[in-house]
Homo-oligomer: A and B are copies of this chain.
């Protein structure tokens, strides 16, 4: 019986302070695929009493980072686009599912869909990744 190699994504998430502070839970962490969930808190609301877009983006971006870190080298977010489709508020539970869509050389495209607990589409995110030549941190 052989041990599975530890991926960059696993090491990365072990050291991730931001996702811990925001109360994210990683449900799936696989090459090219991930699911991350987060419950909206009062201190994540903007001045209109709805979830600040930054936290929806942060959840999607974390799912994206896990899905794209599938090699022995660090892959970073070059950028991303998000469309907000439904507002949420304190107590709502968001789930982000990331899937690899395309790769070309060191570049990749990943789609992340964010749903609420009723299955409503909260946001659609598309991330642009770039694999660096830095080995994964220990």
**A interface vs B, CB < 8 Å?**
11-22, 42-49, 52-55, 57-59, 61-62, 65, 74, 76-87, 101-102, 104, 107, 109, 111, 113, 121, 124, 126, 128, 137
SS of A interface (majority): mixed
Which of B44, B49, B102, B109 sits near A21, CB closer than 8 Å? B44
Q: Copies per complex?
A: 4
Given A54-B58, A58-B54, A109 and B124 touching (CB < 8 A)?
yes
Report yes or no: A102 in contact with B124, Cβ–Cβ below 8 A: yes
> Which 7 A-B pairs rank lowest in CB-CB distance, beginning with the nearest?
A54-B58, A12-B47, A18-B52, A79-B83, A85-B104, A16-B47, A15-B47
